Amino acid sequence: MMKKKAAVIGAGIGGIAAAIRLAVKGYETHLYDKNSETGGKIGELRINGCRFDTGPSLFTLPELVDELFFLAGEDPGEHFSYIPLDSSCRYFYDDGALLNAWTDRLRFAEEAEKVTGEPRENIISFLDECAELYALTAGIFIFSPFYQLDNFRKPESINVARNFRKLNAFSTMHGVISRHFKSPKLIQLFDRYATYNGSNPYMAPGTLNVIAHLEHNMGAYFPEKGMRDIVTALEQLAVRCGVIIHTGEEVLSLVKEGRNITGLETQSGIVSVQAVVSDVDVIPFYRKLMKEERPARKQERQERSTSALIFYWAMKKRFGELDLHNIFFSSDYPGEFRSLRTGEVSTDPTVYLFASSRVIPSDAPDGKDNWFVMINVPYDRGQDWTRIVSEARRNILAKLSRRLGQNVEEFIEAQQVLDPPLIEKLTASNRGALYGSSSNSRFAAFRRHPNVKGKYGNLWFAGGSVHPGGGIPLCLASAKIACDMIPPAE
């Protein structure tokens, strides 16, 4: 008897996870990606002897990766290794203050009190509230298709309704944080978690303060071979599960018959399928693959998330002041987000600097360094990106040089740049928006594209542009939600 055939379109982390889950369910699973490698935004780059992870750099909820190995009957420790971090980030303020975000929350609270004057009790109280928020919402808003009617009948949903005020849905993140702290430094530190899904802390609902829980209460980790190793390990697992991977083969369109998808057209011809999971940004998916303009326009009406401007710098000097993850804060955070809203970039942007050589010494030659330097920028609206990149580079270098006490530009040996138009070209992310739609309203979670649409009975969705959102943990969650709805092949 022939196996039922499933196709996954897009080999980002959500697509690879979906392919593994479908293979375990008994499907002959085919994974397609137009690029020559899997991984989507989780890429790798080598310049002047330096290795760079090109995309996501923070690793939380590693158990979601482990779960895929367990699902396939394997021990994850035999194939993929990661370490807990002592500090999730090192924060540099323009007034010279330096704050280590220790992953031991008591140690973090003590240091934050010394640096900012904020009583440690206030910090612990806020982190406790974030933990309670996660416990209240995760089962409904992150790990299940909460938009389905049956979900609202679950005991967890009833519990959410009884404790609705604790969601802080009608307050902004900044508003909630400001009620907890007097220190502008700590307010800014916790405000920045809105950027983890491309949003604005002065507009996003207070419910998103749950993000801080993942890092401060549950811990931050890093793969022993770098972020790209997550993709490598899962791709190898997929192959062992029987997934057939078609890299460099673009899916051109889907074949529709009534309320079902019966096949897909690739560069090699038409392939018959019984189930389809899309890991493609939903706007190009509808417009290019489904040839359906109406749902594409509906998604476009939602505000796009922010994008990123990234400089990959091979440095001929190693700066001892830096940790694995580093933030150099803007001295005008509200102004930074006002600029983003208008489609521009602040002259004083917050700079994120990631140096994987702090964990993996071989990622840079001795005495040298690999700097991934990123700022948040607006999605592509046709701006003059040549001008924006040039001005941003100048402002970033001025900030880093001022704070590190040396002319940073003198130590740059080689550079590559990733901007929103290039992000769109490489990853098909609409307008270069990293997370699909933003979360800048209390209704954003309800408007995000679901993991299944009623129109087609055998089409499901995973990835950062659909529920529950972007980032590695949420993309893995989206694959689980989608595949849990798909019946076993036999």
Q: Which two tokens stand for residue 200?
A: 């604005």
Considering the domain architecture, whether residues 171 and 255 belong to the same structural domain is answered as: no
pLDDT confidence bin for 246, thresholds 50/70/90: very high
**Residue showing tokens 């900030």:** 399
Please give the distance of CA 111 from its chain centroid, rounded to a whole number: 28
- pLDDT at 447 (0 to 100): 85
Q: Are residues 257 and 238 in the same domain?
A: yes
Identify the pLDDT of residue 215: 95
Is there a single domain that holds both residue 120 and residue 202?
Answer: yes
* The domain boundary residue, chosen from 159, 184, 216: 216
Region 406-426: mean pLDDT is 98
Q: Domain count of the chain?
A: 2
| pLDDT for 149 | 53
Residue 138 lies in a domain: yes
pLDDT tens profile 133-179: 998 888 877 888 765 556 656 666 666 667 667 777 889 999 999 99
* 118 belongs to a structural domain: yes
In a domain, 457, yes or no: yes
**Cis omega before residue 468 (within 30°)?**
yes
Pair (173, 267) in one structural domain: no
Is position 260 within any domain?
Answer: yes
Which residues are bridge partners to 5 per DSSP?
28
Residue-wise pLDDT for 248-296, tens only, equals: 999 999 999 999 999 999 989 999 999 999 999 999 999 999 999 999 9
Q: Work out the pLDDT band at 188, boundaries 50, 70, 90.
A: very high
**Residue by residue, what is the 3-state secondary structure of the chain?**
CCCCEEEEECCCHHHHHHHHHHHHCCCEEEEEECCCCCCCCCCEEEECCEEEECCCCCECCCHHHHHHHHHCCCCHHHCCCEEECCEEEEEECCCCCEEEEECCHHHHHHHHHHHHCCCHHHHHHHHHHHHHHHHHHHHHHHCCCCCCHHHHHCHHHHHHHHCHHHHCCCCEHHHHHHHHCCCHHHHHHHHHHHHHHCCCCCCCEHHHHHHHHHHHCCCCEEECCCCHHHHHHHHHHHHHCCCEEEECCCEEEEEEECCEEEEEEECCEEEECCEEEECCCHHHHHHHHCCCHHHHHHHHCCCECCEEEEEEEEECCCCCCCCCEEEECCCCHHHHHHHHHCCCCCCCCCEEEECHHHCCHHHCCCCCEEEEEEEEECCCCCCCHHHHHHHHHHHHHHHHHHHHCCCHHHHEEEEEEECHHHHHHHHCCHHHCCCCECCCCCCHHHHCECCECCCCCCEEECCCCECCCCCHHHHHHHHHHHHHHCCCCC
Q: Are residues 130 and 276 in the same domain?
A: no
pTM: 0.95
Q: Answer yes or no: is 203 within a domain.
A: yes
pLDDT in tens, 370-381: 999 999 999 999
Q: Are residues 146 and 233 in the same domain?
A: no
- Note whether residue 112 is domain-resident: yes
Among 151, 186, 216, where does a domain finish? Answer: 216
Confidence of residue 2 (pLDDT cuts 50, 70, 90): confident
The reported pLDDT for the residue numbered 396 is 98
pLDDT digits (tens, 9 = 90+) for 32-54: 999 999 999 999 999 999 999 99
Beta-carbon contacts of 272 under 8 Å, excluding residues fewer than 6 positions away, are 5, 262, 263
Claim to verify: residue 163 and residue 244 sit in the same structural domain: no
Look at residues 292, 221, 228 and name the one whose alpha carbon lies nearest to residue 254. Answer: 292
For residue 260, give the CATH number of its domain.
3.50.50.60
What does the pLDDT average to over 2-10? Answer: 94
Measuring CA to CA, how many Å separate 392 from each of 263, 339, 350, 374? 46, 13, 11, 10
Question: pLDDT at residue 63 above 60?
Answer: yes
Are residues 197 and 117 both part of a single domain?
Answer: yes
User: What is d(CA 427, CA 438) in angstroms, rounded to the nearest whole number?
Assistant: 18
Residue 114 lies in a domain: yes
Among 177, 198, 216, give the residue marking a domain's end.
216
> How much is the average pLDDT of 187-208?
96
21: its two tokens: 């889950």
Do the domain assignments include residue 152? yes
Give the residue-averaged pLDDT of 417-426: 97
Domain of 183, in residue numbers: 107-216
State how far the Cα of 106 lies from the Cα of 216, in Å rounded to an integer: 10
pLDDT, tens digit, for every residue of 217-227? 999 999 999 99
